[in-house]
Structure formats: structure tokens, C-alpha cells
Structure 1
Amino acid sequence: MKLQAPLSNLQMELLKLYSAGVSDEYLDEIKVLIAKFLFEKARDRADAIWDSKDYTDEKINEIIKQNP
């Protein structure tokens, strides 16, 4: 028998939305908001890695040429 972990905090909040009766239009808008939020977090993390490694466009182009 496989046990499932309890719901995450995000899952709990989404369940609250569903129980409130969100329209399809609002649901589409919420999906876009979540996608934008996650994209922004991923971009921030990528920028932090870029900065921590002192990458430049030239350095990246050299890496790409070395590893086609």
C-alpha cells in the first residue's frame, strides 16, 4: 500500500478557491498568474547563478563553442 503525503500549502489554497466557485474565466487568469510567478522565480534563480559564476555573453559563447 502506497501512502500519500498530506496536501501542500499550495494545494490547500487552491482547494479553497475551488470550493468558493471560481469561474472558468477567473481560473484561466489564475493559471496565467501562477505561470508568470513561477517564471519570475526561475529567472531570478538563473540570474543569481549567472552572477555568482561571473558569466558574460562572451564566456557563454566560448562554452557553447567548446561543447557543440
Structure 2
Amino acid sequence: MGIREEFEKNRDVKDPRALAEIFAKAEAQLKNTLHPDPYIPAMMPGGTKWERNLRPPVGPVFDHEAHTGH
């Protein structure tokens, strides 16, 4: 059955428990049909360029005021 047909079939469901069951079934079906090696955009988390050129930290790298070892 197509995705649109599933939406239309469940369009008027208002019962929260029935909706939870429908959502659980849909999420399980989605999990079963995911690609084993999904496309991840390069600049997104998990991508090849994620956090490659980070800006330097704004604050101090070492807090000299908090360090009392001197």
C-alpha cells in the first residue's frame, strides 16, 4: 500500500492510543526500509566536512584567574 493511501485511510483517526499504534507501525516500517548506507550531506553531523574548520573558542583556553597554583 502506498504512503498516500495510508495517510488517507487514517485521516480521521482521533483516538490517541490508535494514533500511537499507527505511528509505531509507520516508524517500524520506515526503519525496515532505510538504506543501509544513507547519504549524509558533507556539512551535517556525521558528514565528511563536519567541524573541519572550527572557529577558535571565544573565551580563554586556560582560565588563569581560576587557577591558584602560583
TM-score by shorter chain over 0.5: no
User: Which has the larger share of helix?
Assistant: 1
| Higher RCO structure (Cα 8 Å, ≥6 apart) | 2
Give the TM-score range, shorter chain. Answer: 0.3 to 0.5
- Structure 1 or 2, whichever has the larger Rg, is 2
Instruction: With the length of structure 2 as denominator, give the TM-score of the two structures.
Output: 0.38
